[in-house]
Chain A
Amino acid sequence: DAGITQSPRHKVTETGTPVTLRCHQTENHRYMYWYRQDPGHGLRLIHYSYGVKDTDKGEVSDGYSVSRSKTEDFLLTLESATSSQTSVYFCATRQGLSTDTQYFGPGTRLTVL
């Protein structure tokens, strides 16, 4: 898994509460991504980062924010969790501009009640 860890691996929370998911990488990769995986939708990009403090929105960014204060950490925050955000969240990294392959973390299963 290219030295990518995600925490927590499982979380159950209630509607309206804030939630932060963490992605940590030890590969010094420049690019980092957050995806959500839902049945019938495959993986959809939420946000991505192309460097420290450099982030941009993906396909399904509403209700989510991200931060990257260090190369190795990329945080995903659900500002006020809703049941529609129940999903499996994957972090991915890519080494740099000249590379194409993304490497994925093990995922976080989030349930919003």
Chain B
Amino acid sequence: AQSVAQPEDQVNVAEGNPLTVKCTYSVSGNPYLFWYVQYPNRGLQFLLKYITGDNLVKGSYGFEAEFNKSQTSFHLKKPSALVSDSALYFCAVRADQTGANNLFFGTGTRLTVIP
């Protein structure tokens, strides 16, 4: 079985401060991990993914994520938050290696960046 946990429903951070949005996963075999962002009244937008290789993955809009196999975590980070980063963030794990590529999503974390 595959699952993703986002332990924080809401994260608040001051503009200019570093931000972290947490994600832990459970999956059989090697994990394929993703972060998506959802702005109000919009569909999800792809931010970054980890498939293999370097544990630090860089993505869109200055975001990065660190894969930690021993802690089964894939936390999203950004060195300096912008007010425009305020959105709903979803972590997702790929379900299998057979090609159907079904994703299991976490429940989402709402990030608010305070001016």
Contacts and interface: CB of A to CB of B under 8 A. Distances in A.
Interface of A: 1, 4, 31, 33, 35, 40-45, 48, 50, 56, 58, 90, 92, 94, 97, 100-107
Interface of B: 32, 34, 36, 41-46, 49, 51, 90, 94, 99-108
7 contacts: A31-B100, A43-B44, A44-B105, A100-B94, A102-B101, A104-B45, A106-B43
Rank and list the top 4 A-B pairs by shortest CB-CB distance, nearest first: A104-B43, A42-B105, A43-B105, A42-B107
A105 B106 CA distance: 19
Contacts of A90: 43-44
B90 A42 contact: yes
Contacts of B99: 50, 97
A101 B107 contact: no
Given A1-B43, A43-B44, A102 B103 contact: yes
B90 A43 contact: yes
A101 B46 contact: yes
A40 B107 contact: yes
A15 to B, nearest CB: 26
Contacts of A43: 44, 90, 103, 105
Query: Which of the listed residues A41, A50, A58, A102 has the most CB atoms from chain B within 10 Å of its own CB?
Result: A102
A103 B36 CA distance: 10
